Amino acid sequence: MKKGSIVICASILCVFLMFGSGMAQETAKRFTLKASGGYGSISGGDITTIADGLNELLMDIARVAGGTTSGSIENAKWGPEFEGEFVYNNTDRFGVGLGVGYIRKSIDSKAELQAGTLARVSFECEPVYKVVPITLSGYYTLPLASKMNAFFKAGAGYYFATWDYKIREETELFGITLWSENEGTAKDNGFGFHGGLGLEYSMSGSVALFVEGTGRYVNLKDWDVDYLYQDAFGSERDTGTFWYIEEYEEDTGKYYPYLGVGDEEPSGPGIKNARKAEISLSGVVFKLGVKFRF
């Protein structure tokens, strides 16, 4: 399925490139090269839900055991984004753009449960998202003044995503510390959609500055995972895919969301709502940039 999607996407892009090259001599002044950078968000999907569930679990255990909590586990939501785009303007109002970008989000977070002076549980999480989108966009430009234009864009893209993660758990009881660490790399790719608007100011006949805001919808749920599990007694390397599950905790009498890795859907007593985990790259981005017309 993934290979077929890539072939379809590549075919569309090749058609666009051939169309542009065939018109190059006649409309040489209608080409634009854009470069931009800014700051954007991703929602995270199930990863954010699981992080919130872990924080809730620690607080619930603290209430039951009479302990206290500090810190919280957070998903990486904000980070830098960059894009380069080649646009063919077939009229003064309409254009078609082919772009490639780079998205990176990361964060280090820690949550801890302390029960008296003899018991402590802590979690540390270091997620890093790295995404390369290839986008095809349609543009409509609306003149506002002699040097000022508004523009609107909408289109689709194919997103190549990598998620590196490291999760460490420590349990200390009566001065003895046990630890476990799960570190891995997950990859997935798929289609998404985007739309936005912006303003541009012409510095000259060939150079303009612009600012834009864009929203996107991308939801990936077929991740290939390669991970290493380690604890005080040894280590194990394995592969699989991400699973979202809700598991019952007897200490609190509630279900909490967890992230599992394996080839088969998790099942068993105390597990419900098992399915492939959905990691959402949907979000918004605000960028500044420069465009060159030629």
List Cβ neighbours of 8 (8 Å cut-off, separation of 6 or more). none
pLDDT along the chain (294 residues), means of 10: 44 42 48 97 96 96 91 96 96 95 97 88 96 98 96 98 96 91 97 98 95 98 96 94 96 95 94 97 98 94
Closest of 80, 77, 96, 75 to residue 27, by C-alpha: 96
CATH of 2-293 among 3.30.465.10, 1.10.3720.10, 2.40.160.20, 3.40.50.11750: 2.40.160.20
| pLDDT at 27 (0 to 100) | 42
Mark out the alpha helices in 2-119 (DSSP H runs).
2-22, 46-65
- For residues 88 and 99, the answer to whether their CB atoms sit within 8 Å is no
Give the per-residue pLDDT at 3: 43
Is residue 2 within 8 A of residue 59, CB to CB? The reply is: no
The percent helix, strand, coil of the chain (3-state, each to 5) is 15, 65, 20
Domain residue spans of the chain: 2-293
pLDDT of residue 248: 96
| pLDDT value, residue 65 | 86
pLDDT of residue 208: 97
